[in-house]
Amino acid sequence: METRSVYESWLNEPTLDEATRAELLTISLDAPEIEERFYRELEFGTAGLRGIIGAGTNRMNVYVVRRATQGLANFLLSCENAKERGVCIAYDSRLFSPEFAKETACVLAANGIKTFLFSTLHSVPQLSFAVRHLNCMAGVVITASHNPSKYNGYKVYWAYGGQAAPEQASAIFDEIQRVPMFSPGVADYDAAIASGAITLVGAEEDEAYYAATEGLLLEPDLVRRRGGDLPIVYTPLHGSGAVPVRELLSRVGLTNVTTVPEQAEPDGRFPTVTAPNPEDPNAFRLAIALAEEKGARVCLATDPDADRLGVAVKTKANEWVTLTGNQIGCILLQHILSSLSRQKRLPKNGVVIKSIVSTRLADAICAAYGVALENVMTGFRFIGEKVDEYQTSGEKTFLFGFEESFGFLAGGLARDKDAVCAAMLAAEACIVYAERGMTLSDALDETYATYGFYSESVKSYTLEGKEGMEKIAGAMASLRENPPKAFASTKVVIAEDYLARRCERSDGTVCEIALPKSDTLRWLLSDESWIVIRPSGTEPKLKLYIGARAKTKEQLDSTLTALMQDVDGLLTGYLK
């Protein structure tokens, strides 16, 4: 059906609410806008749905949410005991998150599926934990993570507490495709609450999560003794981290924490930032100003659904620096492994898991402690699956997992990124290093002095809309048709295509890649540098990752700059 016809079918739908009809009427003469809103349906992938809020098939709205939920319900009803085990639903502070969560609950209830709905906004790690705690078959979080305020999304979790696997996501998507847009039944919310079809949850699940997470502290006595001495500034960036982060830090004895007042309350408009992203140094502007006032040397930030943690630290030169996800990951990794080793609690079968686009400094740290390190594809779901596999089999003891995009997980209580727990461990690391007269900046310098200088650069190319998606696909096709033999005059020694699962060495030998299929290309260079290019799975972006190792920081910076200039020029040409 042509986009104009789909638009007209929405406009003439008798059950359409009047606000949506009015919104559609405002674009009746805007053919490009109609095309953009209706040329496709939002894709349902392993991260569920994510899109701009508004009317249309290519937008996030109650009708798209209801249809997705009906597809999920149809799939659940084909799974043994799913109806009785039910679904847990959480939502963050984004615009329409509470409304979309309530619609999700009411569609599930209309299908006779037991439904647990958090009564207030909650974080991704709390939902992940609750799915297992409540023995649910699935979970849903209404969130678009750290995207700008015009976005929202719908993430599906499975019984193990992690995101739905590709096979499940594909089956759910097939079910969604069979559901007419305006057909899902919706239970009356108040009646469903009264009958027990929808159960509001919160306090009991929170308590279980806090108690379990407290148990991951490595130096609890030190933290309780010195926790009031170290000033920390925290910002939830208007999101769901405000309650759990502050509550957990307080419980373990970190009592000298000041929250940025302008960013403390939930607000889906995110008025103080361009995007509520702790990866962006600009997100720390208010936190750093407050830290100067309070005499703090560390700032912590979480995104709206509190699955990502950002850290800013003050150096000995009294300059503020925002740490990269790789740097935070390695500081936490070094803290965990060194503490366990010092306490003689480091398990012989310990394992650390990271994504293939994350720093190789982690490999060196793990090797020094005799701990196995495994690489998985980009996307925290792959880490969550490994955690579940090893906790189920007992083959290995999961210690820590991370990815460069500011996602960290210790202990495996959740099966997704957990910025609440990571904030606790980062604060604990501050205290442990402070006992040695060091800051986290000093700790990073010590790590480089021990293992060598490693650094990484990431660049995203944002191309929204249909034309943008076509350009991204074209760039990936061009890279495959004309594979580079060198970057910045440095020879490629291994070229990996994860879509073809093919690895080719410079001597011509070819082998199969064991990791799952993914639209990802990786090149390993003769000087130990590496490059990865992949489309984002959740945003309209092409992502470039570059990593290098060198004996000096100057050499490292030179290598990274040369590689970035070369690859950026190549990609810019392909994306024109």
Edge-to-edge strand ranges of the sheet holding 138-142: 49-52, 151-158, 138-142, 87-91, 115-118, 198-201
> Tokens representing 431?
């205290």
In whole angstroms, give the CA distance from residue 471 to residue 200: 45
Alpha helices in 227-370 (DSSP H): 242-252, 285-294, 325-342, 361-369
CA distances to 63, 159, 275, 401 from 327, in Å: 42, 32, 22, 13
What one-character DSSP code corresponds to residue 241?
T
> Tokens representing 58?
């290519």
CA angle 326, 330, 334 (to 5 degrees): 175
Question: CA end-to-end span of the chain, whole Å?
Answer: 30
> Tokens representing 450?
């021990």
Half-sphere exposure of 326 (CA within 13 A, CB side): 22
In whole angstroms, give the CA distance from residue 363 to residue 424: 24
Of 470, 468, 475, 471, residue with least CA distance to 571: 475
CA distances to 131, 181, 284 from 50, in Å: 21, 17, 26
- Three-state DSSP at 552 gives coil
- Cα four-point dihedral sign 247, 248, 249, 251: positive
Candidates 93, 97, 145, 441; catalytic one: 145
In whole angstroms, give the CA distance from residue 198 to residue 191: 9
Verify whether residue 145 is a known catalytic residue: yes
Query: Which residues are designated catalytic?
Result: 145
